[in-house]
Amino acid sequence: MIKIADLITPSRTACDIDVTSKKRGLEELSELIAASDPALPAKTIFDKLINREKLGSTGLGNGVALPHARMDGNEAATAAFVRTREPIDFDAFDGEPVDLLFALVVPEHFTDEHLQILARLAEMFSDAAFCKQLREAADAETLFRLLTEWDA
């Protein structure tokens, strides 16, 4: 079973970024992922994520979003996490704007693993106390520590 710690790195965790739209948020996440894996161009990641959003928002409610996609070219599941300074509109079903965004990109051949990781992440973010800790964290390092400690 893949752990959260296998998905993100400190360099792919960002705190209080200034974005004002869903599109900008997804671009930011795509760039974080692309920066650490040359096989994945940011533009391609962004296109995949935005295509998935067209099927229905990946907002989980309560200010959390979990954009995700399957991609050609990468070997392992890769993720990035950002906390925005101001919540952005994400068309979530509860109408709440989103300030915690976790993007997940998995290789094309991940099908069941893809779902299992998503279920795990959704479970993590359904923990209200945990989300509160994330919102109160001082910096990116604390965010990273909180995320990796969740299932350690």
Partner 1 sequence: MRHSATWASGGRQLDLTHQIILAGGLLFVASILASVISSRIGAPLLLVFLIIGMLMGEEGPGGLAFDNFQTAHLIGSLALAVILFDGGLRTRVASFRVGLRPALVLATLGVVVTVTVTGLIAAWVFDLPLLVGLLIGAIVGSTDAAAVFYLLHAHGLELKERIGATLEIESGSNDPMAIFLTVAFIELLLGEHQSMGLGLMLEFVQQMGLGGLIGLAGGFVLARAINLVPLTPGLYPLLAVSGALVVFGLTAVAGGSGFLAVYLAGIVLGNRRVQNAQNIRRFHDGMAWLAQIVMFLMLGLLITPSHLLDVAPQALVVAGVLLLVARPAAVLISLLPFRFPLKEQAFIGWVGLRGAVPILLGLFPLLAGVEDAAVYFNIAFFVVLISLVLQGWTVAPVARWLELDVPPRSRVIHRLELDLPGQPEYEMVGYHLTADSPALYKVVRRLRLPRSTQVVALIRDGSLLQDIHDEILQVQDYVYVLTHPEALPDLDRVLVAPTGPARLEEHAFFGEFVLNGDTPLAALSSAYGLSIPDQQHGDETLDQYLLRLFKRHAVVGDRVKLNNMEFVIRAMDGNRITQVGLKISRGEGGRTAR
Active site residues: 68
Task: Confirm or reject binding of residue 50 to partner 1 (CB under 8 A).
Answer: no
Looking at the Cβ atoms of 88 and 140, the one nearer to partner 1 is 88
**Three-state secondary structure readout of 54-88:** HCCCCEEECCEECCEEEECCCCCCEEEEEEEEEEE
Q: What Cα–Cα distance (Å) separates residue 78 from each residue in 32, 92, 116, 129?
A: 10, 23, 14, 25
Considering only residues 41, 95, 139, 141, which one is a binding residue for partner 1 as defined by CB under 8 A?
95
| Span 116-145, contacts to partner 1 by CB under 8 A | 116, 118-120, 122-123, 126-127
59 beta partners? 65
* Phi and psi, residue 134, nearest 5°: -60, -40
Q: Which stretch binds partner 1 (CB under 8 A): 27-35, 77-85, 92-100, 132-140?
A: 92-100
Task: Confirm or reject binding of residue 21 to partner 1 (CB under 8 A).
Answer: no
Task: Confirm or reject binding of residue 8 to partner 1 (CB under 8 A).
Answer: no
Looking at the Cβ atoms of 33 and 124, the one nearer to partner 1 is 124
Q: Is 97 helix (H, G, I), strand (E, B) or coil?
A: coil
